[in-house]
Amino acid sequence: MPQQIVLRACANLYKNTEQAPEEYTKLLTKAQQACNSAYAPYSNFYVGAALLLENGEIITGTNQENAAYPSGLCAERTAIYWVGANYPNVLIKAIAVSARHAGENNFLGVSPCGSCRQALLEYENKQKKPIKMILEHAEGILVFDCIADLLPLQFSDKNIEKP
């Protein structure tokens, strides 16, 4: 009989904004505000990401779509690649993500796609320090302690090292 193992992601749920640390709620607000500058004429789904750096700066990114659909990029990668290019040696403490439909005011819980998780993981492994992930959720605010928790059985630089 095979042994069953459980691979799962754990997160902390803050039931409302008063319960959550201000650092996280502020970052989430920045992600929500960033949605206004999404370029999403094809999906009309506006996504904002906000990255908190160790120097206190907050860098935002939004989804950038393209008439050649696969050439577009998600908000999370727009933001993290900008940080990688402009602040290669500054640690990233946290990322918050939010989304809304064009013309609507209510923000939605959005969970980063697999490609964004992989891209974020690269920078977490590079800096050797966890990056927290803050997400909207139907029941409140979800905080993951690190990106690795969102990618059980991660593929990383370790996998391509020669034994």
Active site residue ranges:
76
Among 116, 120, 142, 148, binds ligand THU (CB under 6 A): 116
Question: Which of 51, 76, 131, 151 forms a contact with ligand THU (CB under 6 A)?
Answer: 76
Which listed range, 24-32, 51-59, 69-77, 121-129, lies at the site for ligand THU (CB under 6 A)? 69-77
Is residue 112 within the footprint of ligand THU (CB under 6 A)?
A: yes
CA distance between the termini of the chain: 31
Among 74, 79, 121, 143, binds ligand THU (CB under 6 A): 74
From the CB of 51, what's the least distance to ligand THU, in Å?
14
3 state SS for 30-63: HHHHHHHHCECCCCCEEEEEEEEECCCCEEEEEC
Per CB under 6 A, the list member of 20, 27, 31, 47 interacting with ligand THU is: 47
Of 104, 103, 99, 85, nearest in space to 50 by CA: 99
119 binds ligand THU (CB under 6 A): no
Instruction: Look at the block and give the residue holding tokens 């959720």.
Output: 137
Q: Does 109 bind ligand THU (CB under 6 A)?
A: no
Residues 6+ apart with CB under 8 A from 111: 135
CA distance 153 to 130: 16
Phi, psi angles (nearest 5°) of residue 136:
-75, 150
Binding site for ligand THU (CB under 6 A): 40, 43, 45, 47, 63, 65, 72, 74-76, 110, 112-113, 116
